[in-house]
Amino acid sequence: MGNWFGRRSSHYGRPGSRGGVLVDSSDSDSDSDSSSEESMVEDLITGSCPICFEEKQLSCFYNPESNENFQITPCNHRFCKECFSTHVNTVIDSGTWQVRCPGESCSYVLSAKDVKSILPQPKYEEWKAARNKSYYERFMSNDQEMRDALKVDKLVAIEIKKRKKVEEAKIHAGEAKAVKIDGLELKHGVRVSATYMSTRGLMYNGTILEVDVHSGTASIAYDDGDFWGFAPLTSIQILPRLHHMNTERISQEYEDAFDELEPLEEHDIFVGKRVTARLRDGSFYPGVITSVNKKRKTAAIDYDDGDEWDSCPFQLIREDQSSIKCCPQCAVIIHKYDGCDSMTCLCGENFNWTNCRTIPSKLLDELVERELKKTILVQAKEMVVSVVASDLAVTP
């Protein structure tokens, strides 16, 4: 069963579905016309408004919502329209994005749909922007449980290492040129035919995983399950377009989600471990290791979607990050405990779980910048201490 860190939980995914999200009911921005979704209560009654105490027409301004991912069941407090509108606007104008029901001792927090029904569109958009900014600020407050769950420190360290490599590559810009065969660029995701473990012999179809221009080799995942990490470029032929897969989708998934993690160390690869690993077609998916061949440095993977690969190379296996990620829009942590990859966050964002990065790029950039600044400060302090110590050493 799923768990959502530090916030109130809502509805679990419907039995038999494969899309479970646990999030805060205050974040709903869904405009779906689900058959199970009820519209806002429109019936009016005459009574004393709990805010102004005048006899007026009272209404409940809250919107029950329900779909396969979440359920919102609001309270039934009623107010006159003037008082309720003033309450919502006053709270938002004060800089607070969470608006609670003004009913006595009521803990219900208005959903985005509730807020949208009472605010003019321009102000509603301002409120959404403030709400999303608050999500980032909340995440940046370094809640240790959240950071541990997402392995944030490790992701930040990997990102910093990648950026250093990019800077180093810029220094050598111009030295390396794109590899082309018959006028076509050889890069990740390109379908090829190549020899296996030899510069001569039969040619086998496969997919390019990586090209090393300096060594003149490429790593290839062959369709029959074999892998060669140092295939000479001279023994590779690019297949006709007829044999190409949707390389644009594969490359995007690889770049945005899979490649943000480093390969597992050999001692971390063992039978029964849950991992995220590449499939032979170039995509990736979570699964369980069923056997390990240390001599060939491959492992058999039983993927969650029912696929299998009995010889997945170690370098294509990553730590399982499939169950906990951030919403790409609001950065709220989501624990996916079951279901398909089509997800709807309560902030209204629709996204594909597999293609989604563990941490949104914007948030990761902030975390990286913060870590780099911290490193610079530490280095500056060490330099000052070193200079002072040096001065003291030469003082007579």
Rounded to an integer, the average pLDDT of 103-116 is: 87
129, part of any domain: yes
User: Do 33 and 74 belong together in one domain?
Assistant: yes
Mean pLDDT of the chain: 74
Separation between Cα atoms, residue 115 and residue 103, nearest integer Å = 16
Dist CA 21 CA 23 (whole Å): 6
Q: Quick one: 43 and 118 in the same domain?
A: yes
Distance (Å, rounded) from C-alpha 132 to C-alpha 367? 16
Q: What is the C-alpha separation between 226 and 228, in angstroms, rounded?
A: 7
Does residue 131 lie within any of the structural domains?
yes
pLDDT tens profile 246-285: 434 433 444 444 555 677 888 889 998 888 887 766 667 7
Whether the per-residue pLDDT at 202 is higher than 50: the answer is: yes
pLDDT tens column, 313-328: 898 888 776 678 888 8
- Based on the fold, state whether residues 162 and 202 are members of the same structural domain: no
CB distance 312 to 326 below 8 Å: no
Higher per-residue confidence, 258 vs 290: 290
Give me the number of domains the chain comprises: 3
| Domain of residue 330, residue span | 1-141+325-352
Among 138, 102, 213, smallest CA distance to 363 is for: 138
Residues 96 and 173 in one domain: no
d(Cα 363, Cα 297) in Å, to the nearest integer? Answer: 35
The pLDDT of residue 222 is 85
Verify that 45 and 158 share a domain, yes or no: no
**What is the tens place of the pLDDT at every residue in 47-96?**
899 889 999 888 888 878 766 556 677 888 899 999 999 999 998 888 77
Q: What confidence score (pLDDT) does residue 260 get?
A: 56
Q: Phi first, then psi: what are they for 137, rounded to 5°?
A: -65, -40
In a domain, 277, yes or no: no
- Specify whether 12 is located in the same domain as 115: yes
Q: Is the pLDDT of residue 175 over 90?
A: no
- By mean pLDDT, which of 27-36, 104-113, 281-290, 292-301 is the weakest? 27-36
Top pLDDT among 200 and 34 is at 200
Asked if the structure places residue 265 within a domain, the reply is: no
- What's the CATH number where 209 sits? 2.30.30.140
